[in-house]
Chain A
């Protein structure tokens, strides 16, 4: 099933490829239609997923025996939400790309291939395979930014590609090292996560490997100070690119930290808590502060991502139930919220062909619906309780406090700053009187655009009020991660960091 999930988009891409280029009008609709199939499959997967069963629907096929590499897919509570998110956002991103008129065919193909890469990366349980997907998906994204982007697209695309490739290069070295260490201990090399997790490494090498992985993922997240590719990429990328980049690609970083660093290098992870926490907190505050004064709406949202993803990393390395659950669920939340925000910015851009905040003002009068959605997403992003963002942040903050009090307190201030930069931006863009001529003649959201935003909005509310839906799937896996660390190291989860510590009063 998982294999099918990975290959469906590829198949879709091939189908689109077969449509002659001159039939330009059908590529996009077809792409959207086809990209719904993975969504359906993912939905089914979500419904039949057994939270308690750990990795399931495992597909393992030997790829090349002597090297011990396998086609090894499996899904658990940590990857499941990401897969669903991916499959959900791709159709939306595609449907949001009707403004792309040149070389539509290629665009659709790249997007579908990108989807395949992302799903694969989330499902891969073999480090080699993971690396393949992790690296391979750069290319479609590179093209999406570089071909359909705005003025400095080439610079942004190349920067994105090289920077990320650099990170993953080190990771490749580390992966090789791991596999060979395994070979030296067990006789034959293996790249399977399950095998390598059990590896006993010397403290030194474990730390090196951890660093290599951490840098790769830190660049992807991106953590301060590796974040500078992100604003450029976002600003230049077309809407669909920004959406997928923010919503899914960045998550590969946080996902990787959670899935690989914690699982493979428990000792080093525990030792690295301070460093990662510091970087995370710096990211939170720094990203927010920088976002405040950004003159470009997209750049502002980009920096807000830097800030928000800091929370995820913080939660991950707090190593508490709350923190981990928060991290995973925040992965989804940020994907939805920021994705939606980029959609909206894109819609504004389609109307005004500018992203400069200074060029706007009083839009709420001319495009009330758009303003409404924007405000909604803004508050979701600020972390308004009742919406999804809050669940993630609150879990992270409250959950991390017992482990990392001081860091968490500083991080909490990011919540204040979030309100500052987003509301100020909203004020400047939407409120007041539309003084500029071109701002007073815009058309409000079309039915299509509303149709794109509504499902996201609904999910945002549902997750905000009834996160159980996700948490039930997530919790067993995150607990497993935590248990593993506790077993492997002498790390003690501070009270009340574990689910078991939560006190339930006997209530009448």
Chain B
């Protein structure tokens, strides 16, 4: 029986990788994928913790996060596409006219 800590640690690692990914990649799409990684880490955490506490709510919560993720994807991709249409690029580094 695997101690819950392992799951949690794994999730944490996943979250960290995702977060670093967001900071390291300049392709909006990939950044966005990294955010999905982070959300997955959250889900894993919820489920593992819930299981450790014999509490089903963790799993229920995951549903909502999934929905949120889905909604974000729709909107996010729409924005990315819109930008791509105009500028033919998905690199966020080129979107830095607003500053200071």
Do A and B touch directly, given a CB cutoff of 8 Å in the complex? Answer: no
Measured CB to CB, the residues of A under 8 A from B are: none
